[in-house]
Amino acid sequence: MFYSEPCKYSIRLIAKLKSLDTKNVLDFNLINKAIYWAKKYHGNQKRKSGEPYYTHPLEVAYMISDHKLKTDVIVASILHDIIEDTEVTVEMIEGTFGQRIAEMVDMLTRDRPDGTKLTIEEVINNAYKKADKEVLLIKLIDRLHNIQTIGSLSAKKIEKTITETLANFIASSMYLGLLEIESQLTESCMYYDSKQKNKPYKKKSIFSFNDHTSPLLSLIS
């Protein structure tokens, strides 16, 4: 595989970034290097849909550019799974991409050096504690893309993803003031829950509630 060769996902991403970058704030050399790393190190890994795994982080970067046009955030979104799923280390990322990007990718990594694995809730809570809205944004868009593409997962995994999303990510989207993402996450959860239960899907959106978990979870109970 020629990792440096453009693919439809990288072409689409770079074209969008160039169209948005009217003030020339993005470092395209670093972004292209991140794309190369994603392709090289994720290699032949596949998503459940059969697509190359690297298409997922490239799509996350594409989606995140609507909310944050910043090189560090774009690069970290492209590399967000690379420590967890490949032999790449925090030190390798810091040596090539710098301390801030390495820090963000490390915070997004559930598998820890001591052999433990953080829960989704722990990853999110750690970002809250550090008031790191950029890490929260990447995790949120990562989940949005994942839930929009869960159709090829098992019924058990879909149910777990829906419950996890309602319990953890709705509050994050509202904390960041991204109500359109809150709506998209909620609609996706309701759609796949209805599909799981062979029930008619009724479109609904939830924008205000006191407890960010129980009212939403009650919708799929």
Encoded tokens for 135: 């890490």
| Alpha-carbon gap, residue 111 to 127, rounded angstroms | 16
- Active-site residue (options: 51, 84, 106, 187): 84
Whether residue 84 lies in the annotated active site: yes
- CA 154 and chain centroid, separation: 20
Angle, helices 8-20 vs 55-64, to 10°: value is: 20
Burial of 91 (0-12, 13-18, 19+ CB in 10 A): exposed
Nearest Cα to Cα of residue 140 among 110, 108, 115, 111: 108
- Active-site residue (options: 21, 51, 85, 106): 85
Whether residue 85 lies in the annotated active site: yes
The catalytic site residues sit at 84-85
